[in-house]
Amino acid sequence: MMSQQEPIVPVDPNALITWANAVTVGRIVVSPLLFTMIPVEPGGSWVALGVWFVLCASDGIDGYLARRHGITRSGAFLDPLADKVLVLGAMFTLVSRGVFWLLPVIIIATREVIVSVYRVVAGAKGVSMPASRTAKIKTLSQQLAVAGALMPLTFDERWIWLSLLWLAVALTLLSGAQYAWKAVSSRGGATNAL
């Protein structure tokens, strides 16, 4: 006799405590541990790469849980925040280790701060701002750039991860321009996505 799956009751869009949010907060909490694992000496680290992979993969897990149980306003804010903490923390750690150049990381960080502030302002007005498709691709390129710098096999192939880093800068500027355009075009009316 086949058992029927119980229907999933969608969560309240205003809920704070959800499985997706738990995974997201876990990613934020564990991120500083990763930063301490990034070696001071050049050459990359398999351990740091493994932790990096798990933390990046957890982004897909919380996304799956959110789609399955329902997207919340808190999740729409926390998920991009967790991405920023993880990616920018790793990038600035790599800058401090003399691996990444400061300029592309500053460009990426500036855009992230501006968009985060805008999210807070929009959220205070009850407007949810999930990440756009371009922003998701931008995040992936940032993750791959960091992975390339952490992986011992590709560490010496600087052109690989530097190319990914500058691609991330280009996508960062493009997605930032898209947010700005939609923010201007939505004045006078509410928008639920950018």
State the CB neighbour count (10 A cutoff) for residue 57: 11
Mean pLDDT for the chain overall: 81
Whether residue 65 is predicted with pLDDT greater than 80 in this model: the reply is: no
Residue 163 included in any domain = yes
Residue 6 — very low, low, confident or very high, per pLDDT cuts 50/70/90?
very low
Q: What is the CATH number of the domain that holds 142?
A: 1.20.120.1760
Please state the domain count of the chain: 1
Residue 27 included in any domain = yes
Residue 193 included in any domain = no
pLDDT of residue 165: 94
pLDDT of residue 84: 87
Residue 2 included in any domain = no
Residue 7 included in any domain = no
**Domain region containing 71:** 19-185
